[in-house]
A and B are shown apart, each in its own frame.
Chain A
Amino acid sequence: MWNKRRDEEPPKPFSPPVTPSVSPTAASAPAPVTHSVEVKKEITPVSSTPVSRFEPANTGNSIGKSVKVVGQIYSKEDLYVDGTVEGTLEASEHKLTIGPHGTMQASIKAREVLVLGTIQGNVEAFERLEIRKDAKLMGDIRTARIVIEDGAYFKGSIDIIKPEPVKASAKPAASAAAPATPAPTPVAAPVAENRR
């Protein structure tokens, strides 16, 4: 919805100011990628050097400011994007940082999203979304917690979702399930006998 509006030209003779917007996002999304952080279709040009002003604090992957990615990105670790991404980006259990030069025309899902650059697309941040000063976000937001600095530009809707404790505890329970699972059965039996 957001991309469509931005791309529409006003009727003549009025000529609105030209904004540095790019082409629509989802329309050009190609097939998914299965690796941890991978890229499809176009990559022009590739730079392995990480970012300048806002270095990611952790050891996650990064997409440099001279890199353009068109396609779908799945990340299994924290990701820093200072380049251009068109398509979709998913890092459901990790933090995504959009650097000051970063331009996303993508729908985004991540555990935590920090925006210093520009996002045009819907964002789902399961835990937290932060939009810093001078950052721009045009799209619908679903998050548990949002922080908007003065000077940030936001256009869209905000849905506050409640964190899902069940989902978080499901995995540890499953991994440590072996000793815990059999317990209920013997416990249940004596209770039933007592009732008799």
Chain B
Amino acid sequence: MWFSGSRNGKGGSGDDGSGRIPVPSRTIAAQNGAVTRSSRGLEEFFGHIHGLSGLTLLDLGGATQQNVSFITDLGHRLYSENFLQILKETSGAEGMADQSNPGLIDYFLRQALDYPEGHFDGVLIWDVLEYLAPPLLAAVVERLHKVVRPGSYMLAFFHADDKLEAVPHYAFRIQDVKNLQLLQQGTRRPMQLFNNRSLERLFTRSDSVKFFLTKDRLREVVVRA
């Protein structure tokens, strides 16, 4: 396993003291409140499957027109799961149900990740793992490793601020291989916050974990299964 903690030299726009996530300077505001920014993690993810077609990709952020069009236009087959919707149906709006309950974990996995082993060539996880309590998170990550083919890549986002009580929850829409549109869906309390060390432990089964810290204080993580 190799580990790259590349911070990309782009981080550190700083907290404005309001507790809100600062908007990065190089973002473009859209009419609907969405912002578009570059994403090194996304670029890295699609860089690994560049030139390939006919892959099977899983998107855990729910179906959006942009993501569906972008991925299918590349010639891939897309599976869509609205992970947070399933979590809400399973354990309440704020995930208040006991996420260490084995019955809940089993039920959740059957609802959200009931796929054969080695089914996917890549997973767009986005930021959904932040909202899972440790027992459920561990089970989900283990299942993710099973449903992807060895050597496949996964892209996940984690907020980098250690002090946040609630974080903006986004819909991530792919504009192109380098740019993402982030449409805030409200705020949500993460079940836990991560640093590089804890992320390395979380993906300890992976071949490699690569980090990119963005100006909007997201840690973009590209994981090679």
Contact = CB atoms under 8 A, between A and B. Distances in A.
Contacts of B56: 157
A10 B79 contact: no
Closest 3 CB pairs of A and B: A14-B103, A10-B107, A154-B63
B106 interface: yes
B77 A155 contact: no
Interface residues of B, number: 27
Interface in A1-30: 5, 8, 10-14, 16-17, 19
Interface of A: 5, 8, 10-14, 16-17, 19, 131, 146-150, 152-160
Contacts of B13: none
Nearest to B75: A160
A155 B83 CA distance: 10
Given A148-B65, A153-B85, A156-B80, 12 more contacts: A5-B111, A5-B114, A11-B107, A13-B101, A16-B104, A131-B63, A146-B69, A148-B63, A152-B63, A155-B81, A158-B68, A160-B72
Interface of B: 56, 62-65, 68-69, 72, 77-82, 85, 89-90, 97, 101-104, 106-107, 110-111, 114
Contact of B104 (A14, A149, A159): A14
A137 to B, nearest CB: 9
Contact of A13 (B64, B69, B103): B103
